[in-house]
Structure 1
Amino acid sequence: MAEVFRIPANRITRLPFFTAIAGCEPQKIDDLAEDALYIGCPGRLLKDKNQRTLLEAFAEVKKNNPTTHIKLVFAGTGPDTEYLKQRAAALQLSDLVLFLGMLSAEEMAYFYKRIDLAVFPSKHEAFGLVLIEAMALETPFLVSNVFGALQFLPEEFVTNSELIFNPENGNELAVKIEKHVKGHHVDLISVRNMYDKTFSKVAILKAFESIVNR
Structure 2
Amino acid sequence: MKIIFFYTYNQSFLSSFFKELSIQLIEGEYDIKIVSLKEKSELLEVAPGLSVQILKKRSKWLNYISIFKLLMSEKPDVVISNFSYVNPAILSGKLLGIKKNIVWFHTVTQALNPSKNQVRIKSIFLKQASEIIVNSESLKGDLEHDYSISKTKIFPIPFWSSLEASHTKSEVFKKKSLIKIGCPGRIEEVKNQQLIIDSLVNVEERISWRLYIAGSGSNEESLRLKVRQLNLEDKVDFLGVLSIDKMKEYYEEIDLIILPSKFEAFGLVLIEALSMGCPVLVSESFGALGYIKDGEFLNKYSFNPHSSVDLSAKLNNVIANKEHSSDYFRNIYTTYFQKEKIIAKVEEVINL
TM-score, reference length from structure 2: 0.51
The correspondence of residues 107-126 of structure 1 with structure 2, limited to 5 A, is: 107-126=246-265
Q: Aligned letter for 1:194?
A: I
1:203 and 2:341 matched: yes
Q: Aligned letter for 2:282?
A: V
Output one character per residue of 1:163-192: Cα deviation in whole Å (capped at 9) or x when no partner: 000001110101111223335233644432
Alignment partner, residue 20 of structure 1 = 162
The correspondence of residues 2-17 of structure 1 with structure 2, limited to 5 A, is: 5=127, 9=151, 12-17=154-159
Alignment partner, residue 41 of structure 1 = 183
Output one character per residue of 1:85-143: Cα deviation in whole Å (capped at 9) or x when no partner: 22112212110011001101011001111111000000011110000001110100000
Give the secondary structure class of the aligned counterpart of 1:94.
coil
Give the secondary structure class of the aligned counterpart of 1:21.
coil
Give the secondary structure class of the aligned counterpart of 1:13.
strand
Of 42, 55, 75 in structure 1, the residue corresponding to residue 214 of structure 2 is 75
- How many residue pairs end up in the alignment? 202
Q: How far apart, CA to CA, are the structure 2 residues paired with 1:160 and 1:100?
A: 29
Same amino acid, percent of matched pairs: 34
User: Over aligned residue pairs, what C-alpha RMSD do you find?
Assistant: 3.0
Q: What is the deviation of 1:145?
A: 0.6
Q: Aligned letter for 1:19?
A: S
Alignment partner, residue 322 of structure 2 = 184
Q: Which moved more, 1:183-192 or 1:48-57?
A: 183-192
> Aligned pair in 2 of structure 1 residues 153, 83: CA closer, same or farther (>3 Å)?
same
Alignment partner, residue 331 of structure 2 = 193
Q: Aligned letter for 1:43?
A: G
Q: What is the deviation of 1:160?
A: 4.8
TM-score, reference length from structure 1: 0.81
Give the secondary structure class of the aligned counterpart of 2:183.
strand
Alignment partner, residue 132 of structure 1 = 271
> Aligned pair in 2 of structure 1 residues 169, 23: CA closer, same or farther (>3 Å)?
closer
1:58 and 2:200 matched: yes
The correspondence of residues 94-109 of structure 1 with structure 2, limited to 5 A, is: 94-109=233-248
Task: In structure 2, list runs of 5 or more residues that go unmatched.
Answer: 1-102, 104-125, 131-149, 167-176
Task: In structure 1, list runs of 5 or more residues that go unmatched.
Answer: 25-34
Q: Which moved more, 1:204-213 or 1:105-114?
A: 204-213
**Are 2:181 and 2:210, in contact at CA under 8 Å, matched by a contact in 1?**
yes
Q: How far apart, CA to CA, are the structure 2 residues paired with 1:74 and 1:194?
A: 24
Q: What is the deviation of 1:196?
A: 1.6
Alignment partner, residue 31 of structure 1 = none
> Aligned pair in 2 of structure 1 residues 91, 11: CA closer, same or farther (>3 Å)?
closer
Q: How far apart, CA to CA, are the structure 2 residues paired with 1:158 and 1:13?
A: 27
Output one character per residue of 1:143-171: Cα deviation in whole Å (capped at 9) or x when no partner: 001111111221x5389521000001110
1 or 2, which has the higher strand percentage?
2
Give the secondary structure class of the aligned counterpart of 1:82.
helix
Alignment partner, residue 61 of structure 2 = none
Q: How far apart, CA to CA, are the structure 2 residues paired with 1:97 and 1:169?
A: 21
Q: Which moved more, 1:72-81 or 1:10-19?
A: 10-19
Q: Which has the higher contact order (CA 8 A, sep 6+)?
A: 1
Q: How far apart, CA to CA, are the structure 1 residues paired with 2:296 and 2:285?
A: 11
Q: Aligned letter for 1:77?
A: S
1:148 and 2:287 matched: yes
Q: How far apart, CA to CA, are the structure 1 residues paired with 2:251 and 2:305?
A: 21
